[in-house]
Chains A and B, each alone.
Chain A
């Protein structure tokens, strides 16, 4: 599905990267710990998180993450927005909690970028 489909499913607002809504996504990873994201997330995945600081964008850039979805209605700081614009990483914000966000995407065909740790 495209980022635009994700936006619809999550009733989300696009804050950075409106020009990238056509991007295809198939997998996702949910976490509030960037160290875990660095350990387990795969390239071209969505990153679902409740963190809003610039390190989220930095982590996404290092890992070639397709887009960041901020959950629980969280909004990025101004610094985070600036860095995301500079590194061209889309940010969406949804009011759904992390569990609902993950569930809704999974039901629509997005799968985890890994199923279990130690399985890759």
Chain B
């Protein structure tokens, strides 16, 4: 089973933050991906959704998934990031009080996205927006040639 789907995320709508990630988690479970893959993909998706809500006017999350891997692209029209290297450091944050009240904005978001994904790409322009691409691989399948689906998937 293969799934491609695009979701829009509204900036500043803190009440709805997480709706997209919960929906995506449901889709990934339906595809039949292992628990760990679903969980890692859900975490990176949720962090990127929180970032769009916190720092952008609007954004989009695009999911592409099959039994091999999950790709999540998060793009927004927002404030952008001036210094990506600094933003990637744990503890660095420019979050508002509202974001912090929710329990976020501790400067862990981008590093969490990198921590849980197998491939991570980020690009940003100040005043324009940010693009993040993350890939989470189904390691149960990738690392196990005896898996019933391995041959049809990788040969």
Is the C-beta of B115 less than 8 angstroms from some C-beta in chain A?
A: yes
Q: Is A58's CB under 8 angstroms from B106's CB?
A: no
Is the C-beta of B62 less than 8 angstroms from some C-beta in chain A?
A: no
B residues in contact (CB < 8 Å) with A: 14-15, 17-18, 21-22, 25, 35, 39, 42-43, 46-47, 101-109, 111-112, 115
Q: Is B104's CB under 8 angstroms from A58's CB?
A: no
Q: Is A51's CB under 8 angstroms from B39's CB?
A: no
> Which single residue of chain B is at the shortest CB-CB distance from A55?
B102
Residues on A with beta carbons closer than 8 Å to the beta carbon of B14: 55
A residues in contact (CB < 8 Å) with B: 32-39, 43, 49, 51, 53-56, 58-59, 61-64, 79, 87
Residues on B with beta carbons closer than 8 Å to the beta carbon of A59: 18, 46, 103
Residues on B with beta carbons closer than 8 Å to the beta carbon of A58: 17-18, 21-22, 46
Contact of A39 among B39, B42, B108 (CB under 8 A): B108
Q: Is B103's CB under 8 angstroms from A51's CB?
A: yes
When A59-B46, A62-B18 are in contact, do A34 and B103 touch as well, CB less than 8 Å? yes
Question: Which secondary structure characterizes the binding site on chain B?
Answer: helix
Q: List 7 A-B contacts (CB under 8 A).
A: A32-B103, A35-B104, A37-B103, A53-B103, A55-B17, A62-B25, A63-B39
Q: Is A62's CB under 8 angstroms from B103's CB?
A: no
Q: Is B22's CB under 8 angstroms from A62's CB?
A: yes
Residues on B with beta carbons closer than 8 Å to the beta carbon of A33: 103-104, 106, 108
- B46, B101, B109 pick with most chain A CB within 10 angstroms: B46
Q: Is B46's CB under 8 angstroms from A35's CB?
A: no
> Which single residue of chain B is at the shortest CB-CB distance from A49?
B103
Q: Is A43's CB under 8 angstroms from B35's CB?
A: yes
Q: Is B21's CB under 8 angstroms from A62's CB?
A: yes
Q: Is A36's CB under 8 angstroms from B108's CB?
A: yes
Residues on A with beta carbons closer than 8 Å to the beta carbon of B104: 33-35, 55
Residues on B with beta carbons closer than 8 Å to the beta carbon of A79: 15
- A35, A43, A49 pick with most chain B CB within 10 angstroms: A35
Residues on B with beta carbons closer than 8 Å to the beta carbon of A56: 103
